[in-house]
């Protein structure tokens, strides 16, 4: 992975325990399970869209539509996790099926498949490494970097990390604006995919506007994508920004510690675990990204070493929003104060 240090040091840091081999048993993918997940997600999502269109055309209170949009946004979070599995090639056994459905699901979540795959796989190769930040992660400065930064950078960073910006404006910026442009260092294939995705999204918007009216489409799509984006960004935030998280410089970076300590085990209630397609078992996912979402819990339940990870509950996770900077001396995330 391009880490510094002697070859012997790198090999020592990258030794895997005996139990790691057990994870391979859970990488087998099932066409039937993948198809059923698509059906039990996309069918109710489409039905909710039809119901929301009906409520708006019948003149019912918009609050009813917004109530339905909350459920639809939860389903859209699930759509994104299925899209995420396609990115890793872990939803279907067939590479072609993962690519095709990755493109299709990407349209629903306003995310270009190739470009997001590029940045996300870079995230998997570099997360928890302070020397290779900037790919598929949330902007995180060290305490030293922040204190040495210009006043304008400090203000920008404070604004970015404020909950109202990160979770309020973040979903709109990310899914409606940011993903319309390529990631830095993106390849030509990603550029082409972004262009095609943008054109198809425009076609969908125009077609929907002609069929149901632009105000109806916007009145449904905007709250759904915003709520789903808010929940998605929060999930991603607590997966790598929590008390006790592991970060390190490249020369000391350890892939096992990065997975087990740099990723959280977000223990959610059963209903929310279903809507988030088990992505809370994030330490398991980072240990072996080819394990499909529908086998993550089974893997966790079968490998005792994975259960040693301290769970992060929903209520405890709320305190993580206070974390802003990485203190290299204390080796922990801290607040501005």
Map out the domains of the chain as residue ranges. Answer: 7-334
Give the residue from 265, 256, 239 showing the smallest Cα distance to 323.
239
Helices (H) and strands (E) in the chain, counts: 16, 5
Which residues of the chain are under the pLDDT cut of 50?
A: 1-2, 4
Please state, in angstroms and rounded to a whole number, the distance separating the CA atoms of residues 319 and 314.
10
Spatial CB neighbours of 275, under 8 Å, sequence gap ≥ 6: 74, 75, 77, 78
195 HSE (CA, 13 A, CB side): 7
Token output for 227:
């709520």
Spatial CB neighbours of 259, under 8 Å, sequence gap ≥ 6: 283, 286, 287
In this predicted model, what pLDDT tens digit does every residue of 95-111 receive, in sequence order? 999 999 999 999 999 99
**Distance from the Cα of residue 292 to its chain's centroid:** 15
Give the residue from 180, 204, 202, 205 showing the smallest Cα distance to 115.
180
The reported pLDDT for the residue numbered 166 is: 95
β-bridge mates for residue 266, sequence order: 312
DSSP string, 287-317: H-TTS-HHHHHHHHHH-GGGGGSPEEEHHHH
Give the residue from 212, 166, 161, 171 showing the smallest Cα distance to 80.
171
32-38 contacts at long range (C-beta below 8 A, 24 or more positions apart): 33/292, 33/294, 34/91, 34/92, 34/97, 34/292, 34/294, 37/82, 37/91, 37/277, 37/293, 37/294, 38/82, 38/101
pTM listed for this prediction = 0.93
The reported pLDDT for the residue numbered 183 is: 82
The reported pLDDT for the residue numbered 281 is: 98
Spatial CB neighbours of 89, under 8 Å, sequence gap ≥ 6: 95, 98, 290
For the chain, the first-to-last Cα distance in angstroms comes to 35
Q: Radius of gyration over alpha carbons of the chain, in Å?
A: 21
Give the residue from 141, 81, 166 showing the smallest Cα distance to 116.
81
In this predicted model, what pLDDT tens digit does every residue of 193-244 receive, in sequence order? 999 999 999 999 999 999 999 999 999 999 999 999 999 999 999 999 999 9
27-56 burial, b at 16+ Cβ within 10 Å, e below that, comes to eebeeeebeebbeebbeebeebbeebbebb
């Amino acid at each position: 992975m391009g880490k510094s240090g002697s070859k012997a040091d790198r090999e020592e840091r990258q030794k895997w325990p005996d139990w790691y081999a057990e994870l391979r048993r859970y990488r087998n993918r099932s066409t039937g399970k993948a198809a059923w997940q698509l059906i039990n997600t996309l069918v109710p999502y489409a039905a909710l869209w039809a119901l929301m269109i009906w409520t708006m055309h019948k003149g019912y209170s918009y609050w009813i539509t917004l109530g339905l949009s909350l459920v639809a946004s939860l389903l859209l979070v699930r759509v994104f996790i299925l899209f995420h599995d396609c990115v890793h090639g872990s939803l279907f056994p067939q590479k072609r099926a993962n690519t095709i459905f990755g493109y299709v699901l990407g349209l629903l979540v306003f995310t270009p498949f190739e470009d997001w795959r590029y940045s996300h796989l870079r995230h998997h190769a570099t997360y928890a490494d302070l020397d290779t930040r900037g790919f598929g992660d949330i902007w995180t400065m060290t305490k030293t970097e922040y204190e040495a930064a210009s006043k304008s950078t400090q203000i920008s960073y404070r604004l970015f990390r404020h909950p109202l910006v990160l979770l309020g404006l973040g979903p709109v910026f990310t899914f409606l604006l940011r993903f319309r442009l390529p990631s830095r260092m993106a390849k030509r294939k990603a550029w082409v995919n972004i262009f095609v995705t943008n054109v198809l999204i425009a076609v969908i918007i125009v077609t929907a506007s002609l069929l149901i009216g632009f105000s109806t489409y916007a009145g449904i799509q905007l709250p759904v994508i915003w709520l789903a984006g808010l929940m998605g960004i929060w999930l991603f935030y607590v997966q790598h920004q929590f008390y006790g998280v592991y970060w390190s410089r490249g020369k000391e970076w350890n892939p096992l510690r990065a997975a087990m300590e740099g990723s959280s085990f977000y223990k959610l209630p059963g209903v929310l675990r279903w809507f988030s397609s088990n992505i809370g078992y994030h330490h398991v996912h980072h240990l072996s990204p080819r394990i499909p979402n529908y086998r993550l819990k089974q893997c966790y339940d079968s490998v005792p070493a994975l259960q040693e990870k301290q769970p992060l509950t929903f209520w405890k996770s709320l305190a993580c929003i206070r974390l802003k900077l990485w203190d290299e001396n204390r080796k922990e995330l801290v607040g501005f104060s």
